[in-house]
Amino acid sequence: MRFRHRAAAGFATLLLPLAGLVGLAAAPAQAASTATATFTKTSDWGTGFGGQWTVKNTGSAAISSWTVEWDFPSGTSVTSAWDADVTSAGNHWTAKNKSYNGTIAPGASVSFGFNGSGPGSPSNCTLNGGSCDGGPSVPGDNPPSAPGTPTASGITDTSVKLSWSAATDDKGVKNYDVLRDGKKVATVTTTSYSDTGLTAGTDYSYTVQARDTADQTGPVSGSVAVHTTGGGTNPPPTGDKVRLGYFTEWGIYGRNYNVKNLVTSGSASKITHINYAFGNVTGGKCAIGDSYADYDKAFTADQSVSGVADTWDQPLRGNFNQLRELKAKYPNIKVLWSFGGWTWSGGFGDAAKNPAAFAQSCYDLVHDPRWADVFDGIDIDWEYPNACGLSCDTSGAAAFKNVMSALRAKFGSSALVTAAVTADGSAGGKIEAADYAGAAQYINWYNVMTYDFFGAWDAQGPTAPHSPLTSYSGIPKAGFTTADAIAKYKAVGVPANKLLLGIGFYGRGWTGVTQDAPGGTATGPAAGTYEQGIEDYKVLKGSCPVTGTIAGTAYAHCGSNWWSYDTPATIATKMSWAKSQGLGGAFFWEFSGDTSNGELVSAIDSGLG
């Protein structure tokens, strides 16, 4: 359990240039009367924030260069920036284009971003010496407010009528963009719109945003869900057991695993829930993990669930919008935002000092109007309360219960509130370090991490399966099995139907091994694609096929390497055991380790019946 949930170093993608947005022949720099500059706060973690300026060419000729200037109040500053050269003189800040993004074609836009410290917001903005609102003399024109959440009426097989309350603006509202599943479908001057050409028996999500006379867009409204009449939907899995998979935000980078892969693999029709991993926990608050992956990355048509490419001006892109599109196609799927994980669990100590404030920050982030319709609840992955993981927590045995109680109180009875928890069933182990039984009254279920029991962090071995269902003769540590963990949770008072059994879609392995059976010595971790000692199932099934089974899981000895991993056959055994124990279902880490046709997800689905 030591190295699970490690984030890949994909965040540098945030710094990629926007050269692809421009490319027309250079023309003289234009005055601000033909361009606008708007500011958006993309994230906020208490002591700092992420910001983005967007420069749009509203004229008829190309702009060859741009300079945005603004003032920050004392105590607020830029700490790092990308896609612009940012300098300051006191509280006055200046951003000039890079060599690759100075030219902006008519109607196009370029954005640059920065991280800031302090609580302030920019003021007195100028663009190329003129007003940022595109006017000749009035600086600092604010964007319009969010319109009211739309209401839906007159729903038929193929149409719906939407209406909303008006937005406000200091210079006047010009029109409204109507967004279906995050993509603009119409621009209207009134506060109503009838959308037609829809598919019968299908779920849609609608929001609206206002534009002012300078063509600045304001924040997106709340969303309304619409289900057209007639038709049919993708059938959900049978039975009442939870089938939950983790989708990692960083999987879209090196692994090139997108939300659409859940559709093409057939997995989306065989699951009930998705945990989106991970949000950060810092400064006692929930925070964005990777803003580019979460809500900014533009997906092409072939990468998108809907088959429609993202546009530069749609209010929500990234994984969040892809999950929105997935839910429209598979309305039975619920999505939870998981916070913490191995890397970011160190922040829970501060969260436990003020659980109510932590819960409020999580609620505000999960219910941000830009993506509020995407998430059905929150998952807490604290590794580990009152025990040691990447760092050691000393919050006390009651801290976990207090945090879960505050989350339930804030999110309410209708939201999903869950937690990933230790599977250390040893005497005096991690299960005994926190009040998991007391916290159980506030959660829908626990994801019991019944994998990573053994691995090549013990470089010389002994070799042992990382996800044993039961004990066996020679197991390196008593209590490190699925059966022991589940039995201990039941013994302390956690209901069986609130426990989900965990499956790893990967193997753990050693090299320098000569012994076929478990218990052999080794010289270190076996080579892995992304990390030493770990490899996806989809690779191992061909590169190191199974040579034996022990304690309900499989192992493989090939050359000098020794691996353990679950297969469709061992998963079937584990699902049968989970049903015999009255468990609430199963979950797995994580989708991208499966084959392209989702054979492990299929094994979980069919095994749960």
CATH code for the domain of 191: 2.60.40.10
HSE-CB of 288 using CA atoms within 13 angstroms: 24
The answer to the question of residue 19 being in a domain is yes
Beta-strand runs (E) in 158-290: 160-163, 173-180, 183-188, 192-195, 203-212, 224-227, 242-248, 273-282, 285-287
The answer to the question of residue 27 being in a domain is yes
**CA dist., res. 110 & res. 602, Å (int):** 44
Note whether 83 and 46 are same-domain residues.
yes
Residue 24 scores a pLDDT above 50: no
The answer to whether 22 and 105 have CB atoms below 8 angstroms apart is yes
Q: Output the pLDDT for position 126.
A: 87
Q: Output the pLDDT for position 232.
A: 46
DSSP strand pairing (92-96 vs 416-421): unpaired
Note whether 29 and 102 are same-domain residues.
yes
State the average pLDDT over residues 472-485: 97
**In which order are the strands placed within the sheet that holds 183-188?**
183-188, 173-180, 203-212, 224-227
Which of residues 103, 131, 159 is at a domain's end? 131
Note whether 121 and 184 are same-domain residues.
no
DSSP strand pairing (548-550 vs 534-536): unpaired
Of 500, 523, 496, 490, the residue nearest 574 (C-alpha)? 500
Model pLDDT for residues 224-249, shown as the tens digit of each residue:
888 887 764 445 565 689 999 999 99
Which residue has tokens 């008829």? 60
DSSP 343-364: HHGGGHHHHHHSHHHHHHHHHH
Which CATH number belongs to the domain containing residue 106 in this structure?
A: 2.60.40.290
Angle (CA) 174 176 180, round 5°: 165
Cβ count near 417 (within 10 Å): 25
**CA dist., res. 27 & res. 547, Å (int):** 68
Note whether 15 and 107 are same-domain residues.
yes
Cβ count near 588 (within 10 Å): 27
End-to-end CA distance of the chain: 28
Map residue 320 onto helix, strand or coil. Answer: helix
**How many domains is the chain built from?**
2
Give the domain range for residue 38: 11-131
Note whether 16 and 114 are same-domain residues.
yes
Note whether 127 and 76 are same-domain residues.
yes
**CA dist., res. 163 & res. 487, Å (int):** 54
Write down how long the chain is: 609
Residues near 188 by beta carbon (within 8 Å), at least 6 away in sequence: 175, 176, 178
The answer to the question of residue 261 being in a domain is no
Note whether 110 and 173 are same-domain residues.
no
**Paired tokens of 35:** 């361009």
Instruction: Say what the alpha-carbon torsion angle 513, 514, 517, 520 is, to the nearest 10 degrees.
Output: -50
**Paired tokens of 329:** 């196609």
Q: Look at 14-23, 368-377, 411-420, 438-447 and tell me which has the smallest mean pLDDT.
A: 14-23
Note whether 195 and 124 are same-domain residues.
no
The answer to the question of residue 87 being in a domain is yes
Of 503, 481, 482, 493, the residue nearest 571 (C-alpha)? 503
The answer to the question of residue 34 being in a domain is yes
Note whether 117 and 35 are same-domain residues.
yes
The answer to the question of residue 61 being in a domain is yes
pTM over 0.75: no
Model pLDDT for residues 339-369, shown as the tens digit of each residue:
999 999 999 999 999 999 999 999 999 999 9
The answer to whether 546 and 554 have CB atoms below 8 angstroms apart is yes
Query: Rounded to a whole number, what is the largest CA-CA distance in the chain?
Result: 82
Which of residues 206, 227, 248 is at a domain's end? 227
The answer to the question of residue 434 being in a domain is no
The answer to whether 65 and 100 have CB atoms below 8 angstroms apart is no
Amino acid at 153: S
Q: Output the pLDDT for position 134.
A: 62
Residue 313 scores a pLDDT above 70: yes
The dihedrals phi and psi of 599, each to the nearest 5 degrees, come to: -70, -30
Of 322, 328, 291, 316, the residue nearest 304 (C-alpha)? 322
Residue 4 scores a pLDDT above 90: no
Note whether 28 and 113 are same-domain residues.
yes
The stretches of 426-467 forming alpha helices (DSSP H) are 436-439
Q: Output the pLDDT for position 129.
A: 83
Note whether 184 and 92 are same-domain residues.
no
The dihedrals phi and psi of 116, each to the nearest 5 degrees, come to: -125, 160
State the average pLDDT over residues 581-607: 96
Model pLDDT for residues 394-443, shown as the tens digit of each residue:
999 999 999 999 999 999 999 999 999 999 999 999 999 999 999 999 99
Q: Output the pLDDT for position 273.
A: 98
The answer to whether 581 and 241 have CB atoms below 8 angstroms apart is no
Q: Output the pLDDT for position 337.
A: 98
Model pLDDT for residues 150-190, shown as the tens digit of each residue:
988 888 878 899 999 999 988 889 999 998 987 889 999 99
Model pLDDT for residues 45-91, shown as the tens digit of each residue:
777 888 899 999 888 888 999 999 988 888 899 999 999 999 999 98
Which residues face 130 on adjacent strands?
127
The answer to the question of residue 196 being in a domain is yes
Note whether 198 and 103 are same-domain residues.
no
User: Which of the residues are catalytic?
Assistant: 383
Which of residues 131, 164, 182 is at a domain's end? 131
**CA dist., res. 450 & res. 227, Å (int):** 38
Model pLDDT for residues 182-230, shown as the tens digit of each residue:
788 999 999 999 998 888 778 888 999 998 887 778 888 888 888 887 7
